[in-house]
Amino acid sequence: MRIKHHEAHLTYCSNIHPGESWSEVYSNLRQYVTKVRDAFDTKPFGVGLRLSNQASLELLQEHQLEEFKEWLTQENLYVFTVNGFPYGAFHDEVVKDQVHTPDWTTTDRLDYTKRLFTILAALLPEGQHGGVSTSPISYRYWHEDLESVKEEACEHLVDLIIFLHDFKVKKGKLLHLDMEPEPDGVLETSREFVDFFRQFICLYGVPKICRVIGCTLDEANEIVRNHFRICYDVCHFAVGFEKSKDAVQELLDEGIKIGRIQISAAMSTGFQKEEKERKQSVKELKKFDEPVYLHQAVAKAKDGELVRYGDLEPAVEEWGSFGAGELRTHFHVPVFTQDYGTLTSTQSDIKDVLALWKEQNFTDHLEVETYTWKVLPDDMQLDIVTSIVRELKWVIDTLGGR
């Protein structure tokens, strides 16, 4: 939906709803998105579309895409973002690190992403730009040599940038890849994204773009910045204890555009000194140790040292004897709630990012992304439509109204 601040678009990501085939995705849109739309006095309502590889292939068969486009118009809906991070199944089976498969060293990931952009270009309303989010190259613990992985990925990413530039020239559609750093990705921090942008995309990509399309270095630099952006997932950066003001400013100072803000909250113990508090937190955290998703964790000691864990279970085992400090985990919890028993969320980071955004207007795409509803503890399970509406209304209220 459009909101008054900077004429921006706010929606939620439909990866919340299980479904890998196009028929399942379409059914979810008809069943849930229309109900969320009806809770707001606004038309049209924006859709954050999630398409698996399977769904993207099926949507491009026969007249499916044209029929979907007509349905969107009839229902006063429009698509402006696509979630292209999970290629395969994302619900009802173990996902964990396989969410990165296939990674950006493969042509499968490149072809899938091009297909998503082809779909987005067909659906995007006139005069609007659109983004596809994606994995931060790969899962870092699959590889011994991360520099080689970045080089391989850069080849495919530059090919995609040229593909997107061609779309802009021929179709007049501005499309951008929004790469999403997360803990244990090859790119997991804002600093790592900046370094990759500078040392690989610019140093290698800009000269190649000049050669391929025949343009100046300045023109190629602009092409890179238009089509390769960062997806600022608040949860991911909060887990790593990044200060949002510093992270955002560093990105902007480098000339990197923020394609979208993914509004999400992580689970945290808060800063704790007493052993009794930590033992209670361990008990509470174990409720969130579920088998489907990867819940990377970072502990911050009293002296500021960060200790990283690949999943919640090993973090919980050590946390009881860690001493004073705080533990955060990559478990997306509802953004509208701050306290969870003895635990808390990183909701304050969302408030900080939204306050910065109101001041600086660094993107006009805002997307709530709490996808863990089905694996939350039983006492947190709520009706999904009510929960989504409550999240969107919390964002609007936090911004001071629509």
Q: Express each pLDDT in 45-80 by its tens digit.
A: 999 999 999 999 999 999 999 999 999 999 999 999
Tokens representing 152? 């391989």
Which amino acid is present at 269? T
How much of the chain, in percent, has pLDDT values that exceed 90? 74
Tell me the C-alpha distance between 256 and 366, whole Å.
Answer: 17
Residues in CB range of 195: below 8 A, 6 or more apart: none
- Residue 264 burial (10 A CB sphere; 0-12, 13-18, 19+): buried
Confidence of residue 215 (pLDDT cuts 50, 70, 90): very high
Report the C-alpha gap between 287 and 372 in whole angstroms. Answer: 13
Q: Is 323 left (phi over 0), alpha (psi -120 to 50) or beta?
A: left
| CA nearest to 108, candidates 92, 88, 123, 89 | 88
**What is the pTM for the complete model shown?**
0.95
- pLDDT, tens only, 270-286: 988 777 787 888 888 88
What's the pLDDT score for residue 366? 97
pLDDT of residue 377: 60
What 8-state DSSP symbol labels residue 202? I
Give the containing element (helix H, strand E) for 344. strand 343-345
Amino acid at 261: I
Q: Please state the domain count of the chain.
A: 1
Mean pLDDT of 87-106: 84
296 in a structural domain: no
Find, among 270, 271, 266, 318, the residue nearest to 295 by Cα: 266
Which tokens in the block code for residue 320? 């009881």
397 and 3 Cβ atoms separated by less than 8 Å: no
Residue 282 lies in a domain: no
Q: What is the pLDDT of residues 27-48, one digit of tens each?
A: 999 999 999 999 998 889 999 9
- In angstroms, the CA 123 to CA 70 distance is 10
Output DSSP code: residue 165. Answer: H
Using pLDDT thresholds of 50, 70 and 90, give the confidence band for residue 383: confident
Phi, psi dihedrals of residue 94, rounded to the nearest 5°: -65, 125
Q: What is the pLDDT of residue 92?
A: 57
| 23 falls within a domain | yes
Cα 384 from Cα 373, distance rounded (Å): 8
Q: What mean pLDDT do residues 14-25 have?
A: 90
Q: What is the pLDDT of residues 113-136, one digit of tens each?
A: 999 999 999 999 999 999 999 999
Q: In the chain, what is the straight-line distance between the N-terminal and C-terminal CA atoms, in Å?
A: 9
| 379 contact partners, CB below 8 Å, separation of at least 6 | none
Evaluate whether residue 312 is within a structural domain. no
**CA atoms lying within 13 Å on the CB side of residue 282:** 17
Q: Is residue 272 part of a domain?
A: no
Distance separating alpha carbons of residues 100 and 318, to the nearest angstrom: 27
In a domain, 385, yes or no: yes
Q: How confident is the model at residue 392 (pLDDT cuts 50, 70, 90)?
A: very high
Confidence band of 98 (pLDDT split at 50, 70, 90) = confident
Specify the pLDDT at position 21: 95
> Containing domain of residue 110, as a range?
2-265+346-398
| CA angle 101–177–55, rounded 5-degree value | 50
The pLDDT, as a whole number, for residue 237 is 97
Residue where the block lists tokens 């502990």: 299
Q: Supply the CATH number for residue 132's domain.
A: 3.20.20.150
Whether 287 is covered by a domain: the verdict is no
At 303, the amino acid letter reads D
**pLDDT band for position 4 (cuts 50, 70, 90):** confident
Asked, for residue 289, whether it belongs to a domain, the answer is no
Q: How many other CB atoms are found less than 10 A from the CB of residue 368?
A: 25
Q: Is the pLDDT of residue 374 over 70?
A: no
